[in-house]
Amino acid sequence: MKNFAVIGDPIKHSLSPLLHNWIFNQLEIDAHYSKIRVPQNELRSSIEKVRNGKLAGINITIPHKTKIMEYIDVVNPRAKLIGAINFIMPASGKVIGNNTDWYGFTLALKRNEIDVNKKEIILIGAGGVSKGIIFALKQQGVTRVHLFNRTFKKISELYDEFIHPHKITDLENVIHSDSIIINCTSVGMNAADSPIASHLLSKDQTIIDTIYNPVKTKLLVDAEGVGARTMIGLDMFIYQALASQDLWFGEDISNRVNFDDLKRYIESNLC
Ligand code: ATR
């Protein structure tokens, strides 16, 4: 049996085991997926479990997607460009890292028929998820990303021709009545919190959350309340996981999975 795991800290919120084990069960794959809380000082030793064959693959979640890169033998060139990885597997005695978040986000946009081409985007957060999404947005032809983060120093270094860093206090001056806004912070994992004050939301906006647990964050509930278009984090979460399976098994697992059944299964476990 092959063993896989997601590592992070905190890890309780992660639904990756639920998702991956459902797929293994449906497709009768002899494998098991678990979650392991790994503090930063144990990152290096957790990678060793892949090197010595105890784990056939790892997903990485909050807050390790950037830091872990220094312990990886070979980082995929695109993931290097992104600056974050959420995927690890062994290959030829080495540990390789990759990023499937950007692809998951791209497919989720497509599924939700959200077109960002030639649009300006407001993005809040500058962690590992944010980096993958910025890459996806550039691929999709956005003209500008207005980037906000609690810690300004993190985004001041990300300035380029697409990315305009802003102080978080400027948020209300940059948000317009038809803005597309993406939450890449962890604010909302606690159901009572939202990264955006509700009075800044309005019906012609598109509000995207990358948090999938809860399925509908306070931000999304507020956005729905004013009639805005919304995209939940679950679609991206499923697509990034399917892309991970394709890479781990070297075959087109994602095409053998019924997306709607899987989504319903996860939602039923969350409600
Ligand atoms: P992930 O892999 O999910 O991106 P991460 O790399 O730890 O996780 O990034 C978490 C993001 O959420 C960061 O942008 C973080 O802001 P800081 O850079 O200021 O730490 C943001 N975040 C976490 N808790 C927050 C809070 N209470 N208020 C505002 N932003 C928060």
Q: Which of 36, 26, 33, 23 is nearest to 1 (CA)?
A: 33
Q: What is the mean pLDDT of each run of 10 residues along the chain (271 residues)?
A: 97 96 98 98 95 96 96 98 97 95 98 98 97 97 98 88 94 97 96 96 98 96 98 98 98 97 95 63
Q: Please calculate the CA angle 10-147-160 and round it to the nearest 5 degrees.
A: 120
pLDDT at 140: 97
Ligand 1 atom closest to the Cα of residue 84 is: 2
pLDDT at 271: 63
Residue 94: both structure tokens together: 């080495």
pLDDT at 76: 98
Please give the model's pTM, rounded to 2 decimal places.
0.96
107 CA to centre of ligand 1 in angstroms = 24
Q: What letter does residue 251 receive in the DSSP assignment?
A: S
149 CA to centre of ligand 1 in angstroms = 8
pLDDT at 156: 83
Ligand 1 atom closest to the Cα of residue 125 is: 14
Q: Please calculate the CA angle 77-78-81 and round it to the nearest 5 degrees.
A: 90
To the query of whether residue 167 is one of the catalytic residues in this protein, the response is no
Provide DSSP, 156-211: HTT-SSSEEEEEGGGHHHH--TT-EEEE-SSTTSSTT--SS-GGG--TT-EEEE--
Whether residue 114 has its Cβ less than 6 Å from ligand 1: no
129 CA to centre of ligand 1 in angstroms = 9
